[in-house]
Amino acid sequence: MAHVTVLGSGFAALTAARKLRSGDPSLEITLIAPEPQLVYLPSLIWLPSGQRQPDDIIIPLNNFFQRNRITYVQGAVEGLEDGGRLVRTSTGDHRNDGLIIGTGGKFIKKLPGIEHALTPCEGVKPVMEFTNRLQALEGGTLAFGFSGNPKEGSAMRGGPMFEFLFGTDQMLRAQGRRDKFELVFFSPAPKPGIRLGAKIVPKLMKRMEKLNIKTYLGQKMVRFEADKVVTEGAEFHADIIMFMPGMTGNPWFNNTTLPRSPGGLIAANRMCQVEGFKCTYVAGDAGSFPGPDWMPKQAHMADLQAEAAAANLISELNGATPDKTFRVELMCIIDDNAKGAMVVRTEKFNIALPSVGLAHKAKDMFEKRYLRQYR
């Protein structure tokens, strides 16, 4: 009986664990993560409006582990040894016959004054801080922005910032407070959102103009201050700053001999194999994979990679040659609390549908269906 270890408790790790169990009921599976819970990041955007509460999107995983005969080990990963066969954690060492890494990436926090900005995809805490601070304001300027990793174009997550921006606009209008606030969008990219598709960017910019959202684009970031955003071309006041920096690898990657991409992520092939390592795979934000430069860092992509990783690891453990690749697919609904615009991009086509209430309902229904498997 082979013993497989999965690192992490996010989308990539949990999908990998599910697919391992369904693919080979005989496997002994251990999952290592700091907490036995999944934070459903796509629904963070609904916390400020009250459409979700933290407990709605923080899912305890004990029932999931029990149903799927997965041994949970609490601890933070600190390094790997013996070609991936030994995992070092804050609570002890653990051996394995096969390994899937799904611990996600880390946001780059090198910009001076970045402690003054809230990074929403870090979890519930920064989003609730935004929520509470906004509720306490009678008016002011709210700044929303994102940047990338200059060494790796795909190592970024900008889509949620459009949702926080448009969602905040819609929420303030519903509260009758929009006229008391100035909303600003900023990015060092001249065409932010280009990974959604070249035809999508003008639509986003037109929507901002229609909603009276001011933009500062194409200027390198210099620093943040407690109440100010400073770029090389301009600076402006901001009472609250929401900012998503580019992504890089987790610090524990440095305590390994894992191959790294220019941007600091774990280098893997299209089958999610870690280059030069046997029975070792990576999925989701932790990995750097070959493919188009618009390949997204999002839950859907992490799921697709995790499915391939699990199938290929089972094949390798059984002495077969891994051959399952993942399809590259960007799929999202840019939601504003009331309506949503569906965007799909594959290697063959790119579409963006108009913003409609039905898409908002679809996103709500997908969340409920997705989380049912983990409750």
Instruction: Note the pLDDT tens digit of each residue in 158-174.
Output: 899 999 999 999 999 99
Using the predicted structure, report yes or no on whether residue 254 has a pLDDT greater than 90. yes
**Count of Cβ atoms closer than 10 Å to residue 44 Cβ:** 24
**Count of Cβ atoms closer than 10 Å to residue 22 Cβ:** 10
Residue 87 included in any domain = yes
Domain that holds residue 208: 109-246
- Let me know whether 238 and 275 are in one domain: no
Dist. CA 246–CA 64, nearest whole Å: 32
* Domain end among 266, 290, 317: 317
Residue 344 is predicted with a pLDDT of 96
Dist. CA 152–CA 328, nearest whole Å: 17
Contact yes or no for 84/274 (Cβ under 8 A): yes
- Let me know whether 141 and 237 are in one domain: yes
Residue 240 is predicted with a pLDDT of 98
The residue-averaged pLDDT of 241-253 equals 97
Q: What tokens were used for 92?
A: 């002890």
Give, as one character, the DSSP assignment of residue 57.
H
Question: pLDDT category, 109, cuts 50, 70, 90?
Answer: very high
Q: What tokens were used for 329?
A: 């697919």
Sequential DSSP letters for 239-299: SEEEEE--EE--GGGGGS---B-TTSSEEB-TT-BBTT-TTEEE-GGGEE-SS-TT---SH
Residue 19 included in any domain = yes
What sign does the CA torsion over 12, 265, 120, 73 have?
positive
Using the predicted structure, report yes or no on whether residue 199 has a pLDDT greater than 90. no
Residue 276 is predicted with a pLDDT of 94
Q: Which of 99-103, 220-224, 292-296 has the lowest mean pLDDT?
A: 292-296
Using the predicted structure, report yes or no on whether residue 154 has a pLDDT greater than 90. no
Question: pLDDT category, 153, cuts 50, 70, 90?
Answer: confident
Q: Closest Cα to residue 189, out of 321, 294, 291?
A: 294
Average pLDDT value for the chain: 96
Using the predicted structure, report yes or no on whether residue 69 has a pLDDT greater than 90. yes
**CATH number of the CATH domain containing 13:** 3.50.50.60
Residue 98 included in any domain = yes
- Let me know whether 239 and 256 are in one domain: no
Q: For the chain, what percent of residues have pLDDT higher than 90?
A: 97
Residue 222 included in any domain = yes
Question: pLDDT category, 236, cuts 50, 70, 90?
Answer: very high
Using the predicted structure, report yes or no on whether residue 278 has a pLDDT greater than 90. yes
The residue-averaged pLDDT of 168-195 equals 96
Provide the pairing of β-strand 228-231 with 221-225: antiparallel
Considering 192-196, 259-263, 351-355, the range whose residues carry the highest mean pLDDT is 259-263
Residue 183 included in any domain = yes
Residue 217 included in any domain = yes
* Domain end among 317, 345, 363: 317
Residue 362 included in any domain = no
Question: pLDDT category, 277, cuts 50, 70, 90?
Answer: very high
- Let me know whether 131 and 225 are in one domain: yes
| Number of domains making up the chain | 2
Contacts of 279 (CB under 8 A, 6+ apart): 84, 97, 98, 99, 313, 316, 317
Question: pLDDT category, 67, cuts 50, 70, 90?
Answer: very high
- pLDDT tens digits, 284-305: 999 999 999 899 999 999 999 9
pTM beyond cutoff 0.85: yes
- Let me know whether 293 and 181 are in one domain: no
Residue 163 is predicted with a pLDDT of 97
**Count of Cβ atoms closer than 10 Å to residue 320 Cβ:** 10
Contact yes or no for 224/116 (Cβ under 8 A): yes
The residue-averaged pLDDT of 84-98 equals 98
- Let me know whether 236 and 259 are in one domain: no
- Let me know whether 194 and 154 are in one domain: yes
- Let me know whether 310 and 254 are in one domain: yes
Residue 338 included in any domain = no
